[in-house]
Amino acid sequence: MIRQTVRVMNSTGLHARPAATLAKIVKKYQSSLTLVNNDKEIPIKGMMSILGAGVKGNTMIDLICDGQDELAFMDELKSAFADGFGESV
């Protein structure tokens, strides 16, 4: 299990477009992902759980990856968050 703190660079938070991108990343890996926002742990399975987390822009959140491909998973997640999921930030 690995845990990493990341900043949500998107000014509007994890809305539909970044949530869809994040959901695609989640589906590529066997490891599980848990998002921690305001001390609330949210298991991320797909787009609806991402949107339901209500993550606002410029927020620090923790990501927890657990499983056999957790390192590659976390690397891709960190890159996606740093890049603002391809949106102008």
Residue 67 CA to residue 33 CA, distance in Å, equals 9
What tokens appear for 87 in the block? 């949106």
Which residue range is the domain that position 42 belongs to? 2-86
What's the Cα-to-Cα distance from 81 to each of 15, 42, rounded to whole Å?
13, 17
Task: Report CA Rg, the chain.
Answer: 11
CATH number of the domain residue 30 falls in? 3.30.1340.10
* Structural domains in the chain (count): 1
Report whether pLDDT(89) > 70.
Answer: no
How far apart CA 40 and CA 48 sit, in angstroms, is 16
Q: What is the pLDDT of residues 64-81, one digit of tens each?
A: 999 999 999 999 999 999
pLDDT at 63 over 90: yes
pTM across the whole model = 0.93
Under DSSP, is residue 79 helix (H, G, I), strand (E, B) or coil?
Answer: helix
